[in-house]
Structure 1
Amino acid sequence: MYFISRKSFLILLLFCAGIKSKIRYFYFSDSEIKTLTSFSEVVLPIQEPGMPNLEEASVMRRLDEELTFVSDEIQEDFHSAVMVLEYLPFFYGRFRCFSNMERDNRISFLETVAETDSDVVRAVIGNLKLLVCLVYYGHKSTWDSISYPGPFANPPEKWSEARLHYQNLLKGN
């Protein structure tokens, strides 16, 4: 019989836990999903009647899909931007991470940060908002709500090789 040491067992356990957390998303960690979901809930008009929610518009899935295949530099920048957003409230006298704040507190915090002199903070918030809005409004489920008829002549959607590869990864192929 083979005995495994406690250290090897813990390493194996951590490795398996890491695999489990990455099965759902290939690019994002669970904490990043929580932060981006909290941000998207206050930036997007999902509370408005007739507007799709984050799941219907596939916001997190599309962000994960797009950021999985970009260059390492862009991936690192986006990871850093999400981390800055998560811990930024501490620098403004708030004693909670962004994802743990109540919805109204997140809104008031983003309004406070909008008036900052820091170019870095404005760039982080602006770029995250830009990417989230592009993914949300690029989904067909939002088009009727914003009176967008769709592309001229309504051509069929053609998926890139990266999108097809991502779908195959989701299916386990």
Structure 2
Amino acid sequence: MALLLFCAGIKSKIKYFYFSDSEIKTVTSFAEVVLPINEPDMPNLEEANVMRRLDEELYFVSDEIQEDFHSAVMVLTYLPFLYGKFRLFSQLEKEERIRLLQIWSDTDSDIVRAVVGNLKLLVCLVYYGHKSTWDSISYPGPFASPPEKWSEARLHYQNLLKGNGD
């Protein structure tokens, strides 16, 4: 039992360089309802490395893009209050999050549609860009299956995770 609690404590201390803890909750709860993670043969968020890859990608973009994404996540976090739900997006039941996303996709507000659409685009890009999803969607992978080559930014991020960064 002590080992289980210890491992749970380690898991809760996963380090992110771009996301705050509250943003992790919001984006994770969003990804859970827009991605087919409960479908047979589809990987879950951890298997597809969704949050880690989002953190990595957003860590290296320009400050303007980072701020836009922080703002979009903040809007998503508090938007339920404007629709009579007095809880943060991440605190809503899955069915309620799905209902709100359906309402927001049909809203007249360009801002709300942009927030939801752009977050969904980025989450889907990271999810379907991971090898673990390819067989399930009948994607054979890149032509000639070249070995994956990591950019300097990705190598730097991995070094930061290991504590070897600047």
TM, length-normalised to structure 1: 0.86
For 1:162, the equivalent position in structure 2 comes to 153
For 1:131, the equivalent position in structure 2 comes to 122
2:25 and 2:83 map into 1 onto residues whose CA distance is 21
Please identify runs of 4+ aligned residues in structure 1 that moved more than 6 A.
none
SS state at 1:85 partner: helix
1:64 and 1:95 map into 2 onto residues whose CA distance is 28
Cα RMSD (Å): 1.2
Deviation, 1:114, is 1.1
1:166 and 1:23 map into 2 onto residues whose CA distance is 14
1:55 to 46, 49, 57: 46
TM, length-normalised to structure 2: 0.90
User: Bigger radius of gyration, 1 or 2?
Assistant: 1
For 1:144, the equivalent position in structure 2 comes to 135
Contact 1:59–1:136 under 8 Å retained in 2: yes
For structure 2, which runs of at least 5 residues remain unmatched after alignment? 1-11
For 2:162, the equivalent position in structure 1 comes to 171
Deviation, 1:95, is 1.4
For 1:82, the equivalent position in structure 2 comes to 73
Q: How many percent of aligned residue pairs carry the same amino acid?
A: 83
Deviation digits for residues 67-125 of structure 1, max 9, x if unmatched?
A: 00111010000000000000001111111110000000000010111110000000000
Deviation, 1:148, is 0.4
Whichever residue aligns with residue 59 of structure 1, its letter is: V
For structure 1, which runs of at least 5 residues remain unmatched after alignment? 1-20
Deviation digits for residues 12-67 of structure 1, max 9, x if unmatched?
A: xxxxxxxxx99610000000000000000000000101000000000000000000
For 1:44, the equivalent position in structure 2 comes to 35
